[in-house]
Structure 1
Amino acid sequence: MTLHPAIIALLAGALAVNALVLYAAWHALAILRHWDPNSGSERQLQLERRTYLVSTLLGNAFLFEILSLALLVFVADRLHLQINGAMCAVGTFNANAWGYPALLLKVFNVLGAGLWLTLNFADSRAYDYPLVRVKNRLLLLLALPVSLETLALWYFFRNLKGDVITSCCGSLFSAGGNQVAADLAGLPPLPTALLFYLLLLLTIAFGVLFLRGHGKGQIFTIFATLTFSVGIAALISVFGPIFYELPHHHCPFCILQSEYLHVGYLLYTALFTGVLAGLGCGVLSPFRNRPSLHNFIPRLQRYLTIICLLSYALFALAVTLRFLISDFQLFS
């Protein structure tokens, strides 16, 4: 199936991103060793020009990395029609041993890319590149998982066979199973939903306090991350069955299909936008007092906090409205 146009696009993009990250990581080593903003030497001038070039290339590469998560899920959902036993993207990812590692590495790298883009955006607004060492250290940490993701994607698509019988979402996300997916599906609906709404309210509360100057960005980030994690779990164990109107259907990918108006793309976009903005707000907090950034970072954190709160509010509004207008009763 590697000749499928969408697969070719994904693999070509992954190879390009990997090549740019490795190229940038090589230059990051030199920057970390020799960077001296107080020096006017020829080497420092070369490093500054190289930093600008690498940042521009990586900005485009990591933006594609974030967008390609949706493309990967979309491709997996469409390929299920060609795989025996698959009913959605779950069956595609489960068709060989590389599917879910590729997906999890993609998610991890998307979060890392979002953090790097946030740091780079703030760094580019200062005259003295105060975050250059921080963002290059993060880049070195991301080089290995990006390379592993590329390998996992290659082996996943290379070994994807249409004549292999795979498991459907009904068997994997079943409360009676013994895998992580089954554990998520088996979470008690009412306590899980209450925990999600409680964390959402706490995130909103700490976000408002932070916007008013009475809270810390790191605390807001912690609750934003917890809301994202519990939101994913609640989508599988609680909100998914409400959208499907089937009490034992806990698939996290069927909700992406046309039968449900592709609403899953809206829900996942809201969750990932929220967590990326929340993490970005927290990662900037240690640098609020840098002289060249003490005016810009608080303003950027305000924008990120508002984006996070609006994204989570959109997710909560969508699932709550579905619950209110549906005749299906999950909690009875």
Structure 2
Amino acid sequence: MILVTGANGFVGTALCHQLIALGASVRGAIRRLERSVSCIEDIELFQVGECDPFADWSKALDGVRAVVHLAARVHVMHEKATDPLTEFRSVNVEGTLNLANQAAKAGVRRFVYLSSIKVNGEKTLPGRPFAERDVPAPLDPYGVSKHEAEEGLRKLAQQTGMEVVIIRPPLVYGKEVKANFLNMMRWLYKGVPLPFGAIHNRRSLVALDNLVDFIVVCLDHPAAANQTFLVSDGEDTSTTELLRRMAIALNVPTRLLPVPQKLLEVGFKMVGKNDLAQRLCGSLQVDIAKSCTVLDWKPLISVDEGLRRTAEYFLRSRG
């Protein structure tokens, strides 16, 4: 039995589908049963409430051999908490370690933790992609909380013998993607002229199908035990190139204005959008050599195929 937390989320739904297709017994943990979705109706569901330091996981963990922990307080675009780091720590650190401790006591063999590339940092220099061996340099509360959870899990693995696998993905896109990626698709589909025609950054992404495939490999591969991995599509792209390829997937014309990148960055910073400037104009590359060699893994699909599948769902959902 495999327990997937956040089973009705963006990654969780796709992972549950894939595990079921592979013949695995899957149990899903979600916040509230009334918020479950029909696409995971074939699996056993447990309502666990908030993933906090006080959650009781005993029933959900009964008979479980492996846990994939996806549930988290994610990066918040418009933060309202007066003390964001405390809020992130409550769920992402204390909540995670509470689950992991109970999992170890219940005899769970392997604990797969979906972390974030934000543990490495926010940007990379040309020719210097992030790697697992880099000294962590998280800058925001979300990244800090993910790093602290990783550290706690490694200590727990040493103390209990439960195998821990840590995965740090960059931006994930695919069916039902939301936030900025969805907004870009909407703008392109509507034919809105965008000032992103002259951006020469390099960014790593990971298609949902590639991430799910990688998680499945990490569940059982002997060499994954107590390791940290970076994962991506294995092909980096600029924001400009990504938008052009996305437009092709949507079968719409590209209307990108060649506004100089430096001018864009200044404009974003003047209106207090430094984070958005970094995501659109800055570089963030990851080196997946370790993932490919240690686990004998390679991305299942290309960037173009990932965009095609994402666009196909986007167009279908619009009726």
Q: TM-score range by the shorter chain?
A: under 0.3
Return the TM-score normalized by structure 1.
0.25
Greater strand share, 1 or 2?
2
Return the TM-score normalized by structure 2.
0.26
Greater helix share, 1 or 2?
1
